[in-house]
Amino acid sequence: MATPPPFDFRGYRVLVAGGSRGIGRSMALAFAQAGAAVSICARGEAALEDARQAVAAFGGATHVQRCDLADASAIGGYIAAAAAALGGIDVLINNASGYGFGDDDEAWLADFNVDLMAAVRASRAALPHLAGSTRACILHTSSIAALRPRPGGPSYAAMKAALSHYTLSQALALAPQRIRVNAIAPGSIEFADGLWDRCRQEDPQRYAAVLAKIPFGRYGTPEEVAHAALFLASPWAGWITGQTLVVDGGQMLHG
C-alpha cells in the first residue's frame, strides 16, 4: 500500500485464512502496515513464503503455516498454532475460495469445502480465542456473485450466498459475546495471475464485456478490498455487525 493506513492496529492479532495471493495477501499487508501481528495460511509454499517476507517487512510479529483449507483436520491445527504464535486472536478473516466454477460434483464440493465449510470450521476453532478479546471480529470474503442469479459458476455463487447468510446467523449468535461478524462482497478484482488477469490474456472479449459493466470504468484492486477490511475490523465499525459490504465500483448497479 502506497499511503499509510488511517487505522491503528497495534496490539491486534489478525489471522488471514487464504492470505498468500490477491485479496488475502493485500489484507495481510494492510493489517501489518497498520501495526498488527499477522498470521496467514495457504496451500502454496512459494506464494506463502513470498507473502511472509512482504508482511514481515513491516516489522510486526508474523506467523505463516501451510494449510489446505479444504482439509477439515488441518484447520484446527493452524488456528491453534497461529493463536499460540501471536498470543491470541482478535480478527479472523476467512478469505479462501475453491473457485469451482463448473456444475459438476467436483466444483460444488470444492466450493462447499473451501468457500463455506472452511469459514465455518475456522470460526469454530477460533471462537475460544476470540472470546478472550475485547475487540473480536470475524470477516468473511463473499462476492457480488452471491447477490444475483448468474448463468455461469452456479456452485461458486451458491456457496458465496450461503456464506453471506452464515454471516447473518453467526453475527446474531455471537452478539451476546460482543464478537462482530461481517462480510465483504468484492466485484471483479484484477491482480497478477488472478482470474481477471488471465481472462484479459486468454479471453479479451469476455474481459472487455465485464469491464463495460463497471461504472467506474476499471477493474478493482485487492488493496481496495483490504481497505474495507481495515474499516470493518476497526473500532470505527464497532456498531456494525451482520452486514455484507459490497466493494465493486458500482458493478452491481448494472445487475
Residues with catalytic function: 156
> Alpha helices of the chain — where are they, by DSSP H?
22-33, 45-56, 72-86, 105-111, 118-130, 154-174, 195-202, 204-211, 222-233
CB neighbour list of residue 163: distance below 8 Å, 6 or more residues apart: 115, 116, 119, 140, 142, 146, 183
What angle is formed at CA 56 by the lines to CA 16 and CA 233, rounded to 5 degrees? 35
Q: How many CB atoms lie within 10 A of CB 192?
A: 9
Sorted by sequence, the CB contacts under 8 Å of residue 6 that are 6+ apart come out as: 230
Q: Rg of the chain's alpha carbons, rounded to an integer?
A: 17
Residues ≥6 apart with Cβ < 8 Å to 250: 214, 215, 216
φ/ψ bin of 99: left (φ > 0), alpha (ψ from -120 to 50), beta (otherwise): left
Place of cell 510479529: 61
Q: How far is the C-alpha of 18 from the C-alpha of 40, rounded, in Å?
A: 7
State the sign of the Cα–Cα–Cα–Cα dihedral 111, 193, 19, 11.
negative
